[in-house]
Copies of this chain bind each other. A is one copy, B any other.
Amino acid sequence: SSPQLVCVNDYEKKAIGILDANARGYYQSGADDEQTLHDNVADFKKWRIRPKMMVDVSRVNLQTSLLGSNIAFPICIAPTASHKLAHPQGEIASALAARAMDTCFVLSTLATTSAQSLAESVPNSLKWYQLYITKNRNIAKEMVKRAETYGYKALVLTVDTPLLGTRRADVRNRYRLPPHLRMENFDGISALSTELNAKKKGSGLSIFTHEFFDQSVTWADIAWLKSITSLPVVVKGVLTAEDAEHAISAGVAAIIVSNHGARQLDGVSSTIMALSEVVRQVGGRVEVYVDGGVRTGTDILKALALGARAVFLGRPVLYALAVSGEQGVRDILTMLARELKLAMQLSGQTDVNDLSKDLVVHESRIARL
């Protein structure tokens, strides 16, 4: 009798009915007026696919690699905080799903599961660790060390968050983790949860970020990071050609075009619109991925055609987790992989690594064709 879940948006709708106001507000909201939150999804629709018919699509390859590690399809899990708000098994459920589907899971610094316990519960899988640079560099340093120790294969440095953007729902809800949860990656490094929960007004996470994250970080600090680790550094949060160039000069291994799920600065470009600019500037020198608003197989097809090597999923994973834990996450990964495959077959494409820009056209050009 409950309607079947046949697309990613069905998971969102169902999750919304399950999550409490605190978690729902935290997961759903974007910064300020949420213009970019809307655009992230809507701008995918502005690209039209130019399909090729009568191509032998009986065999389609979805396999690709991230920095040399193979993945079954170019759909990975973005770092998002606090999976245990969605499901008691939290990040472990998500990472188990990623492993089952043979794709990459990125653990957030702000996860409710520590890098260590995740690695112990989900060995033998491709895991990356997302990092923020903290005022107290020892915290970041210790996290990098743990990431290395527990087998994470890359550091994803998020560069768009010197401070937290204003998500109004969180301010209204005075968002904070419930008492039984904590940001476990800080265990043994810094006492957080008490401090955070003591605060009375506004978003607890915003107060935390203000206190812990370093607002003075520059591209030069990538050198520092590289000096303390042998892991490749992926920067997450680049939206312009200029910053892509800075990132390459700083020696990064890959770039994630991202606006943090439209949660930081409202009014920036959607990521699918920013992607072309970055890809053109990068010119193949490093790998480029994208996240933000990916909800269907055709979204992924378009992102790949515009030059992304893979896409990452934020909210869809959290919603799927809320709906049915590990199985939910498996389901949406399976669903999107199936949708991507079908979109390729219906547009005459046989290999995710061979999609090119002429597969799509921006709607503003169509009348002029």
Contacts and interface: CB of A to CB of B under 8 A. Distances in A.
Contacts of A215: 56-58, 345
A114 interface: no
Contacts of A239: 50-51, 53
Contacts of A217: 54, 56
A238 interface: yes
Contacts of A364: 367-368
A276 B368 CA distance: 10
Interface stretch (A41-49, A69-77, A137-145, A186-194): A41-49
A347 interface: yes
A45 to B, nearest CB: 5
A346 B264 contact: yes
Contacts of A369: 276-277
Contacts of A266: 296, 298
Contact of A345 (B162, B214, B361): B162
Nearest to A172: B4
B219 A7 contact: no
A304 to B, nearest CB: 13
Interface stretch (A79-87, A267-275, A323-331): A267-275
A22 interface: no
Given A54-B217, A273-B366, 13 more contacts: A4-B172, A7-B32, A32-B339, A49-B267, A50-B240, A53-B159, A53-B237, A53-B243, A54-B243, A54-B246, A58-B215, A162-B345, A166-B342
Which 7 residue pairs are nearest across A and B when measured between Cβ atoms? A265-B346, A58-B215, A58-B216, A53-B159, A56-B216, A267-B298, A6-B171
Interface of A: 3-4, 6-7, 32-33, 35, 45-58, 159-160, 162-163, 165-166, 168, 171-172, 214-219, 221, 237-240, 242-243, 246, 264-269, 273, 276-277, 296-298, 302, 339, 342-343, 345-347, 361-362, 364-369
21 contacts: A6-B166, A33-B296, A45-B267, A46-B367, A47-B267, A48-B267, A50-B268, A51-B268, A53-B246, A55-B218, A57-B163, A57-B215, A57-B216, A162-B345, A163-B345, A215-B345, A267-B298, A268-B347, A269-B361, A277-B369, A365-B367
